[in-house]
Amino acid sequence: MFRLQGSKVLAVDMTGDAVKAKNGSMVAYDGQMAFKKLTGGGEGLRGMVTRRITGEQMTVMEVRGQGTCWFADRASEINLVRLQGEKLYVESSNLLATDAGLRTGTTFTGLRGASQGNGLFTTTVEGSGQAAIMSDGPAVVLRVSAQYPLTVDPGAYIAHQGNLRQTFQSGVTFRTFLGEGGGEAFQIRFEGDGLVYVQPSERNTIAGDA
C-alpha cells in the first residue's frame, strides 16, 4: 500500500482501508476520500504522545477511501519501515504515516539527567504493516549488537527497533570534545540487538546545541 515516488513523496494506494498521517502532510489525492482529524488521547500521536520535553504537539488525520493519496512534509526524505509484529520507537516529529495494521502509542524512555528529572517520551508503532518515517537528509540504519553498543547524538536520532536498551549519558556530547555546545547536553546509548535510524542533520534539542 505504501510506495515512494522519488525520495520525498509517499504514495498510498487505498481500497477502502485507512491510513493515519501527520496533519497537513497530504499534497494530492485522486478517487474518493474521507478525512477525519484525530484529537485527544487514545492511540493518537499528539499531546503526551509527542516530544513532551519541547512542548511540541503533533495532530494526526485519518484518511479513508478508494484511490491514491500523496503525502510529503517540508521536502523531508521518506523511509519505509515494514513491521511484522515488532515495535518501532520513533520521534513523533519524524513520523509521517502508518497504515491500518499498526497501533500507535507512547512510552516513557527514561530520565534525561537526574538533576532536572526531565522525562523523555517516544512514540511507539506496533503491529504488522508499514510506517513512513522522515529524515533531514537520507537516513542511515545502524546495527547494534552485544559486542558493539552504539552512542547517538539526540539531534540525529530518528527511530529504533529490536531488543535494545536505551540509556542517557548527560554532561557530554560530541561537540563538548571540541569545546562547543552549551546547556546540559546528553547522548543516547543503545545496547542489545537491533537497528537505530539516524539522520545526517541535527535538530535542536532541549539540551541546547547537543
pLDDT tens, position by position, 74-83: 999 999 999 9
Stretch 129-154: mean pLDDT, rounded? Answer: 94
User: What cell numbers appear for 171 in the block?
Assistant: 554532561
The total of other beta-carbon atoms located within 10 Å of residue 50's CB is 23
pLDDT at 119 over 50: no
Please give the DSSP secondary-structure letter assigned to residue 202: P
Stretch 175-194: mean pLDDT, rounded? Answer: 70
The mean predicted confidence, pLDDT, of the chain is: 80
Residue 20 contacts residue 104 (beta carbons within 8 Å): yes
Residue % of the chain over a pLDDT of 70: 72
Q: In terms of DSSP bridges, do strands 95-99 and 118-135 run parallel, antiparallel, or are they unpaired?
A: antiparallel
Residue 196 contacts residue 141 (beta carbons within 8 Å): yes
The band of 50, judged by pLDDT with boundaries at 50, 70 and 90, is very low
What confidence score (pLDDT) does residue 121 get? Answer: 67
**Distance from the Cα of residue 76 to its chain's centroid:** 13
User: Does residue 147 or residue 172 have the better pLDDT?
Assistant: 147
What confidence score (pLDDT) does residue 1 get? Answer: 87
Classify residue 86 as exposed, middle or buried by CB count within 10 Å of its CB (0-12, 13-18, 19+).
Answer: middle
Rounded CA gap, 9 and 65, in Å?
A: 19
546509548: which residue's cell?
189
